[in-house]
Chains A and B, each alone.
Chain A
Amino acid sequence: MKSSAKVRKASARQSATGAELLDERQLRQMVSTVLRLAKSTGAEETEVHIDEVADTLTRFANNGIHQNVAEHGVTISIRTVLDGRTARATTNRLDEDSLRAAIEASLSLAHSLPKDPLLLPMPGRQRYRRVNRFVNRTAALTAEDRANAVRHACDLAIKNGQVAAGIFAGGQSQSAIGNSRGLFAAYRETHAEFSITMQQEPAASWAKANSPDARAFDPQKLAAHASEKAHLAANARELAPGRYTVILEPAAVLDLVGFLFYDFAATALRDKRSCLNDRMGKQLFGKNITITDDVYHPLQEGAPFDGEGLPRERVTLVESGIPKNLVYSRASAKAARKKPTGHGFALPNEYGEAPMNLVFTGGDSSLEKMVASTDRGLLVTRLWYIREVDPYEKVMTGMTRDGLFLIENGRVAGAVRNFRFNQSLIEMLKNVELLSPAVRATGEEAFEMVVPAMKVRDFHFSEVTKF
């Protein structure tokens, strides 16, 4: 049996989530196996990525579990460099013959390329700030734990004459990177997520939370919140489309502003596809908008290194409404004569880099204060199917979903039918009147970020749907 397979066999102890992740010694051993094999095949430089996932997900609908899954897998991705050319091959077969075949595939792909005069040598050893987001109790969540939580949530729905649907997911994952210049980095984290939709036909409402620590949220509280809101969402009336003051809950903010992340990539500006082209250093948003990218923020998640193994840096992207900085990979930094910020994607790629851990600076308001301060407006639970209509003005379209409420004279005055919006994000971030403290938000259109609820004036709803 080949050495990597031995490593796996040794780690095949079953845990509550069905798998035990490889430990760091095993990861290092796999990296060194690949580097040894690559050296013998003539690669000048070699980079190895190892990704392992052990995930579980319980899905429920119509007040019962209907899907319940677990997966475990390890992939090894190998990038070789030969004579100024580089390419990547990936496999999940970990025996030496398969690894050698992947190395040869990578070299063969590279051989077919023209020489790249801009290709940089791989980086050497780096220093990383430690981040601990692996929670043993989350890793130990069992299928029974999830089923019991789901059963309680469904019981509440039945009691309230509603129908529940959602997920309860848990898992653990890790990624490691090593290269022939001695770089090695490894990171593991756990994750748990509960999402629930309570339907009270024809209305519905929704609540969702996730965290590396399953104790950070209470599924029953989320179920109760969604249930209460679904009740309020019943008997929706139709309003005319137009411009409204809106109070966007954090999930709604997240799913909109999430579409801005790639605009802060240096490569996007170089390619002239960013909305920040010709706008850096100008007062683009309101003075109450400050955005950083910060993987080390206590409410964030993700590895503290990028696709080439560089440490991620905290970057202030927008300060008091002015776009100040971009993020850089090593290549885009060299082209712009800047320092790389540790945001590069794994090479080779055409997109360069992106900030993946956005953190908005919040304010001192709250949803309650925002409602109380509004004469006439709309409270938005979440948004759905958001797509970019105009990439430079950053006009986005999408729908409201799972609870849209009219506010009159500082109070919620009832539910209204869902609207379609066509709204420029640039304009929206000029029109923010109030912000709550920033929280970890999770939606369905963007990856998790730390964002506040926002009260925004003149939000543009263009059409209304039938429910």
Chain B
Amino acid sequence: MWDLCTNALDTARLHGAAYGDVRAMHIRQRDLTTKNGQVGTLAQSESIGIGIRVLANGAWGFASTDRLTREGVAACAAQAVSIAKASALAKRGEVVMAPEESYVDSWQSPFRKDPFEIPLERQLALLLAADEEMRRVKGVTLTETDMQFRKIDSWFASSTGSRIHQRKVISGCGIAATSFHGDEIQKRSYPNSFGGQYALQGYELIESLHLLKYAPIIAEEAVALHSSLQCPEKIGTLILGASQLGLQIHESIGHPIELDRVLGQEANFAGTSFLTLDQLNKLKYGSSIVNVVADARLDHGQGLGTFAYDDEGVPAQCTDIIKDGKFRGYLSNRETAHLIGLKRSSGTMRTESWNRLPIIRMTNVSLLPGTWDYADLIADTQDGILMETNRSWSIDDRRYQFQFSTEIGWEIKGGKKVRMLKNPSYSGITTEFWNSCDAICKFDHWTLWGTPNCGKGQPMQTMGTGHGAAPSRFRNVRIGTAFSNQ
């Protein structure tokens, strides 16, 4: 593969490229699903190809191909340069890239059990058993389970001499029970909704989730939701479960700190950001106990945003995003770093596949653990609502105003969970919300959640991101608006 990469870079240079980098990738994937006790999807796929990014006449061009011959790759490199020259017809300034060392390295994400080596029969048997456990519960009308495994090999080469090979193994799994009764559809998922939990791990992730233990619990909750009380509409105290808080971080911190959004590069599609450059080091993003980092290093955990190098050849880093409540950092790349006074990219350029251009992406954007024991947090709450497991999410195109609903809620009175609530929702303005945070649970309750389906860019790219979170409490939050009919 290195020969093809070198061939691409040489061809690009001959055609006039001042800089070039190449990503060859081989992606293998296995998907399994069941529905109502029957196998749904059973599929395996692989995709291999090369993407070439070049700078010529001061502008960018990118082309990709799956024709992995010397001729195919050379034609692709020449096309990338030709595209860059066309870009220069409508450029507004020269591209300036922050300097970066060259690296020759090879890295593999750690895993104990290769999911592609685990017999398929065993994987299916687990899903079918969980499916059956959920179907035992009277009133459940739909049961679904899924597993997905990916093995991604990438070869990065740059015209400045980097040669980096990385292998990542990703696993994911989830189960869900749905109940239709009267005029309501209620659903419960485990360990998270929209596919479950994903991580940069092997099959050990699946085994750690204990699906069979939780299958009957969520099935019973899905049915019980029909007869529970509607979540009230009020301004009040909210406790978010860790997975829902992970998505809250993703939407209201992770996206607004993407420097390409801030600089208007996503204005037509994903939107911009309220975090204009003048806010850096000034904005009080959250209360003083709120500390958020973007950390791609393995030290942070095996999340979907963990790697050794980004897709621009920049080593993984940890960046302070919010420190003691104050806004401290963006996600940047080599092209944008200098605009916020950085001498170096923060290493967040990532690509979905060989046929996509790397763009600024979240790595693991995590809320650092606090000091509270979960039981103490509940006991300390006189009147509040606990919400768990996302059901819907929406936020405006500058990431100010959001509304989330969750699958289940619990009324907390006098320090105790007293009853189940259905159709819970909450909404607010990002900075007001994070400034109302008065308690964050400690590391014992902290999970590095995986969001496998973050869409961004044109053509659209789907990326996995990580979000560490522990249950946390927020005061004076607007609750119940989604189901209000006023």
Contact = CB atoms under 8 A, between A and B. Distances in A.
A72 B90 contact: no
Contact of A195 (B60, B184, B264, B268): B268
Contacts of A185: none
Interface string A316-354: 000000000000000000000000000000001111000
B287 to A, nearest CB: 20
B65 interface: yes
Contacts of B141: 271-272
Given A196-B268, A392-B180, A422 B400 contact: no
Interface stretch (B44-52, B159-167, B291-299, B439-447): B44-52
B89 A151 contact: yes
B92 A64 contact: yes
Given A112-B119, A113-B39, A466-B400, A92 B48 contact: yes
Interface string A1-28: 0000000100010100010000000000
B263, B392, B481 — most chain A CB neighbours (10 Å): B392
Interface stretch (B79-87, B210-218, B313-321, B379-387): B79-87
Contact of A199 (B39, B92, B144, B264): B264
B346 interface: no
29 contacts: A62-B92, A64-B90, A66-B265, A71-B355, A87-B44, A89-B43, A90-B46, A91-B45, A113-B42, A143-B83, A147-B89, A148-B89, A167-B458, A199-B264, A271-B141, A350-B34, A350-B144, A389-B391, A390-B423, A392-B185, A397-B392, A397-B403, A401-B271, A462-B482, A462-B486, A464-B401, A465-B396, A465-B429, A467-B396
Given A92-B49, A165-B266, 9 more contacts: A12-B71, A65-B60, A71-B355, A72-B66, A272-B178, A348-B42, A386-B394, A462-B486, A463-B481
Nearest to B39: A113
B395 interface: yes
A422 B427 CA distance: 12
A12 B68 CA distance: 13
B341 interface: no
Contact of A88 (B43, B89, B357): B43
A385 interface: yes
A277 B141 CA distance: 12
Contact of B42 (A57, A110, A169): A110
Query: Range of interface residues on chain A?
Result: 35 or more
A197 interface: yes
A57 B458 contact: yes
A392 to B, nearest CB: 5
Nearest to B45: A90
Nearest to A349: B41
Interface string A418-437: 10101000000000000000
Contact of A391 (B185, B357, B486): B185
A420 B394 contact: yes
Interface in A412-465: 418, 420, 422, 444, 460, 462-465
A199 B267 contact: yes
B79 A18 contact: yes
A92 B398 CA distance: 39
B448 interface: no
Contact of B66 (A92, A349, A464): A92
A222 B295 CA distance: 42
Contact of B482 (A147, A204, A422): A422
A69 interface: yes
A48 to B, nearest CB: 14
A350 B396 contact: no
What is the predominant secondary structure among interface residues of chain A facing chain B?
strand
A387 B400 contact: no
A92 B46 contact: yes
A209 B46 CA distance: 34
Contact of B79 (A70, A384, A386, A463): A70
Given A92-B46, A92-B66, A385 B459 contact: no
A56 B405 CA distance: 38
B142 interface: yes
B264, B393, B396 — most chain A CB neighbours (10 Å): B396
Given A113-B124, A277-B180, A385-B394, A87 B64 contact: no
Given A271-B35, A392-B185, A65 B91 contact: yes
B47 A75 contact: yes
B61, B121, B264, B356 — most chain A CB neighbours (10 Å): B264
A221 interface: no
A467 B263 CA distance: 18
A68 B61 contact: yes
B397 interface: yes
Interface string A113-127: 110100000000000
Given A61-B268, A271-B35, A109 B142 contact: no
B91 A462 contact: no
A66 B458 CA distance: 12
Interface string B322-345: 000000000000000000000000
Interface string B18-56: 000000000000000111101111111111110000000
Given A62-B263, A64-B90, A147-B90, A90 B43 contact: yes
Nearest to B128: A114
B83 A390 contact: no
Contact of B265 (A56, A62, A272, A390): A62
B75 interface: yes
A321 to B, nearest CB: 19
Contacts of B119: 112
Given A91-B46, A385-B396, A397 B83 contact: no
Contacts of A392: 180, 183-185
A8 B90 contact: no
Nearest to A60: B90
